[in-house]
Structure 1
Amino acid sequence: MAGAAARGAPARRRTGLAAAPVTWTLIAVTVAAYVAQWATRDTVPGVTEVLWYAGLYTSPFGLEPWRMATYALVHDLSGPTHLILNMLALWVIGRVLEPALGWWRFAALYVLSAVGGAVFALWVSDPLQPVVGASGAVYGMFAALFLVTRVRGGQVRSIAVLIGLNLVISFLLPGISWQVHVGGLITGAVVALVYSLAGGLRPGRASAPSAGAQAAGLVLVAALLAVLTVLGADRIGLDAVLR
């Protein structure tokens, strides 16, 4: 009888760390990386230089493609503002988006958005200009939050305004890689569209998500990013590296 009563009881809603484990893990790892950056700022190379990304690192002249994801772990050392703003956005959006998507879908969104930001930078930025920060992944979360909210019938005007204002700031202020922001935004929108087409955004049993279809869609997105990376790297000539 006790077992029957337990099965009939309403499920308790998870809160805090249990509700968004990937979000909290990303925050912890990124903050730890920032501490390591400061600890090695006077060494050559330090953690910052080991993890940042530039187009050079996906060219035949310096092939280290993992940097297309690791750059999202390191931030500007001129002050903590860069880190704080990104981690605040991750904390606010992640606690909403991760429970809505599920941990592995959220993790895939975050990583692919970061990589998408690097791919866009590869095509339109100076291949010798390094970029750092989780902004590409954060913009991917913005795009996914917009689509999730819209599909579920919520008001998206405030999200659209937030995205628009942040993009304007990205273009106007010096020292900000708008290329990473745009690339992350586009990639996040594509990933969220994959989830939507596979039935993973609308609540209700009739539109239960197909994990297999979503995983296949993510593989296709990753493959497309890989192709764009190869094509973009092929455009980097020796003259661009030696100038």
Structure 2
Amino acid sequence: MEKQQPPEDRDGSAAAAGPPTCYRHPDRETGIRCTRCERPICTDCMIGASVGFQCPDCVREASGTGHHPAADRPRTLAGGTVASDPRLITKILIGLNLAVFVAVMARHALLNDLLLFGRAYVGDSSAGYEGVAEGQWYRLVTSTFLHEEVWHIAFNMLGLWWLGGPLEAALGRARYLALYLLSGLAGSALTYLVADPAQGTLGASGAVFGLLGATAVLMRRMNYDMRPVIALLVVNLIFTFNPWGGIAWQAHVGGLVAGALIAIAMVHAPRERRNLVQYGACALVLIVVVAVVLARTAALT
């Protein structure tokens, strides 16, 4: 087993060359330190404590003493349980997207069964209308796992991996999954509300944009340099509203707004009312989504 160096020998060499770096990930700059040993820690390593954040080593040591009360168990920034694999949900989501992609490649007819559109004829008009307005609400969810082109799923899965891992570590599995699913659902709802009801849309972009909005909120909360995420957001919005079309901007905007709002509740909720604020915000977003879908359905039928 690798021997841990003393805290003073692993302070990220802040005095020697610029900002400190995480003691476990030397390639990551950070402004956060463990409240017990003062080692620099990144978002993947920081564990919420009763006061501030602690590093994994200090949490492990404290847990072994038997004096770590239930209220002070290792928690993420948002109050979630610290997991041994902080990217498990991200891996599962990527696996689901890839599985659906392979299934569609094997049976292309699935595309029409899972696609998001409001109300339209599919094939022979004698079969009647199909779509969300006809009671096929599942399309609001299935479409967020649906991709048709290799470049499309590759771009979205790279975004999910890069943005999802740090967010999952910072929020915890349950909160992260709620953020992802609700962002995708909000993007679908806005698309259903605004887009042509016969226009089909698909892709995980709404959920990924939700992660992008949440990343901006998290970085602001951690007092990190906002310029990289702002630049990434601007570039993505330029592509979203490009003059060539072909991109469902409604899904991007809906996911971005929902992700940012949920993340604000996740990382800024007061400790004593954390669960109420966090899950209350998620419930509020879900209620808005349902209201939008019901209103649009009433207008189309």
CA 1:31–1:123: 2 relative to 1, 3 Å? same
CA 1:58–1:150: 2 relative to 1, 3 Å? same
1:70-109 equivalences in 2 (<5 Å): 70-76=142-148, 79-109=149-179
- Aligned equivalents of 1:153, 1:22: Cα separation in 2: 26
Indicate the SS of the match to 1:19: coil
Counterpart contact for 2:100–2:145, Cα < 8 Å: yes
Tell me, which stretches of 5 or more residues in structure 2 are unaligned?
1-60, 67-73, 75-81, 120-130
- CA displacement, residues 135-183 of structure 1 (integer Å, 9 cap, x when unaligned): 0000000000000110111111211111111111111143111111111
Residue 67 of structure 1 is aligned with which of 116, 126, 139? 139
- Which protein is richer in helix relative to its size? 1
Opposite residue 149 of structure 1, the aligned amino acid is: M
**Aligned residue for 2:277?**
213
Matched, 1:118 2:192: no
CA 1:127–1:5: 2 relative to 1, 3 Å? closer
What displacement does 1:87 show? 0.3
1:218-237 equivalences in 2 (<5 Å): 218-237=282-301
**Aligned residue for 2:7?**
none
- Aligned equivalents of 2:114, 2:269: Cα separation in 1: 34
**Aligned residue for 2:12?**
none
Counterpart contact for 1:17–1:24, Cα < 8 Å: no
Structure of larger gyration radius: 2
Matched, 1:34 2:104: no
Say what the alpha-carbon RMSD is for the aligned residues: 2.6
Opposite residue 102 of structure 1, the aligned amino acid is: G
Opposite residue 50 of structure 1, the aligned amino acid is: D
**Aligned residue for 1:202?**
none
TM-score scaled by length of structure 1: 0.82
TM-score scaled by length of structure 2: 0.67
**Aligned residue for 1:241?**
none
1:188-207 equivalences in 2 (<5 Å): 188-199=259-270, 207=271
Counterpart contact for 2:186–2:255, Cα < 8 Å: yes
CA 1:150–1:209: 2 relative to 1, 3 Å? farther
- CA displacement, residues 5-63 of structure 1 (integer Å, 9 cap, x when unaligned): 97049x8xxx998111110000011101100000002xxxx22222111122331xx21
What displacement does 1:235 show? 2.2
CA 1:17–1:234: 2 relative to 1, 3 Å? farther
Tell me, which stretches of 5 or more residues in structure 1 are unaligned?
200-206, 238-243
**Aligned residue for 1:165?**
235
Aligned length: 218
Instruction: Determine what percentage of the aligned residue pairs are the same residue.
Output: 31
